[in-house]
Chains A and B, each alone.
Chain A
Amino acid sequence: MEAVKCDGLIKNFGKDGRKVSAVDRVSFSVSRNEVFGIVGPNGSGKSTLIRILSTLLIPDAGSARVFGHDVVREYGKVRRVINRVSVDAAFFKGISAWENLRYAARLYGMAKGDAKMRSREILAKLGFAEKRMYEPLEDLSRGMQQKVAIARAFFTAPMLLLLDEPTTGLDPRSKLDVQEYIREAMQREVGDLTIILTTHDMNEAEALCDRVAIIIDGRFVTLGSPSELLAEYDKSALEEVFLEVTGRKWKEIEDEV
């Protein structure tokens, strides 16, 4: 059974009286223990797709299954095996990292002692000083807040982790810490962890993902392993593939006009 299977997913939003297609007939599957990358420009539908898989958004058509469970009808079962990191480190900023993590731990039914041990362990690996766990989050930098968000997602031991631009806006050091932690986690949790990662960073996608899909205007325009994509487009870097694919798309739009 695949970790994720999406068939003909469609999600439209109404904006200023017109229909905006955020996800347009997207079909793909993700194997267990795979890191699946979704790259695309801003507003291309990456986060919408992640929200559908997170059970936070109901698709207009098509289906999405996580470990065989439908995200709309069996959302309770899906929620037990997933967690997510979004581009904004969403927390109660007035209270400390530990108080936020304890809150998350309670929601996931984790014992407080286990939650503390796991969060210390993860945060230490991310280069986060333990004493800062007790400071209000509003006093921490964006990079540090994002590390707490990474810890919140990992410490519940999800089977599917949805990382929605987890390194956007981070300084190079923090970015490397996070990427290194993801790589380590994949090695450590062999067979137990599957990741869907959305990013703007082609180097990150190339370094971390087993397969990458490029999404433009809600549609997957290409999908393959980084080496397959490089070979298919005859490029030396994924960034060049991205520019080629998006450029081609623009050309098509211009031709249509």
Chain B
Amino acid sequence: MRYRSQTYGSIAFVERNFALVRRYIGWEAVFVSYNVVNALAIGLIGARMGKDMIVYLVVGAMVWGFLSILFHEISESIAWERWEGTIEYTFMAPISRFIHLIGNCLWAVVYGVIRSSLILAIVVLFFGISIKGANLPGLFVILIVSGLSFVGLGLVAAVLPLLSTEKGAYATHILEAALLLVSGVYYEIEVLPVWIRPLSYVSPATYTLRAMRAALLDGAGFDELMPIILLLLVTGLLLVPLGMLIFSKAEHYAKKKGKLKRSG
């Protein structure tokens, strides 16, 4: 029998998640519609304040949607695997946890970018906004690079469903909302109470929002965006190993306490 290298195993997760999305395509359409309606509703808040304000708010909705997809795909896949009982089979397979989680994250980033693009396209059409001057390639580079940091945080969040199938996945939403709250999702961080602001400065989402708004509203070029791109890249390169480390500690704990099993 022919065997391939372990890195090839990361495709398993992309392929599996794609099969699941295809299988539940109707529900995916419902979730995308929810994201679209949410983005439109938020955009409408700024309708009387001009198109720039609509874009400003919609960027917040886009980042929220993107972060939700990432957290959902990473931590929910752990919750789902625990629920289905497949987690024991995934965890006992001869594949490193790094490859396993990278496979899940790869899918999450690709799927998140596709859905965010769709939302942006619908919002632009709905409000009749011109994005001629916007730096769209820059926008997507920011989204992808931010994905790295969000993946690191998503891995930390994935610990919760690993330890509690029933409540863990819901608890990840709290982390997601708190992150966006301190990052200026629909407002400038200057409006936040002073004691919260230090959290804004260390949150990668603050820089994602700032850079995406600059790319869309001001058409900021790559030279202007580069410091933030590098900052997000470095943050991601620190957060991903940290997330992996925390996840592996949680896995060890789950294996000590027998928390991987569904029954029996």
Contact A88 B263 (CB under 8 A): yes
Contact of B2 among A47, A86, A111 (CB under 8 A): A111
A-B contact count (CB 8 A): 111
Contact of A86 among B8, B16, B88, B252 (CB under 8 A): B88
Which chain A residues lie closer than 8 Å to B24 at the CB level?
94
Contact A164 B255 (CB under 8 A): no
Q: Which of B19, B24, B252 counts the most chain A CB atoms within 10 A?
A: B19
B23 within 8 A of A: yes
Which parts of B229-264 form the interface with A (CB within 8 Å)?
A: 252, 255-258, 260-264
Which chain A residues lie closer than 8 Å to B86 at the CB level?
90-92
B30 within 8 A of A: no
Contact B258 A88 (CB under 8 A): no
Contact B19 A84 (CB under 8 A): no
Which parts of A53-97 form the interface with B (CB within 8 Å)?
A: 54-58, 76, 79-80, 82, 84, 86-88, 90-95
Contact A103 B16 (CB under 8 A): yes
Counting chain A residues whose Cβ lies within 8 A of the other chain, the interface size class is 35 or more
Which parts of B1-30 form the interface with A (CB within 8 Å)?
A: 1-6, 8-9, 11-12, 15-16, 19-20, 23-24
Contact A82 B19 (CB under 8 A): no
A13 within 8 A of B: yes
**In chain B, what residue has the closest Cβ to A88?**
B85
Interface residues of chain B, those whose CB is within 8 Å of chain A, are 1-6, 8-9, 11-12, 15-16, 19-20, 23-24, 80, 84-86, 88-96, 252, 255-258, 260-264
Interface residues of chain A, those whose CB is within 8 Å of chain B, are 13, 47-48, 51, 54-58, 76, 79-80, 82, 84, 86-88, 90-95, 99, 102-104, 106-111, 114, 118, 136, 152, 157, 164
Q: Return the 4 tightest CB-CB contacts between A and B, nearest first.
A: A90-B85, A106-B12, A107-B93, A79-B94
Q: A107-B95, A108-B95, A114-B2 are in contact. List 20 more A-B contacts (CB 8 A).
A: A48-B258, A56-B91, A56-B255, A56-B261, A58-B256, A76-B94, A84-B88, A88-B263, A90-B88, A92-B20, A95-B16, A103-B19, A106-B8, A108-B94, A109-B4, A109-B5, A109-B6, A109-B9, A111-B4, A118-B1
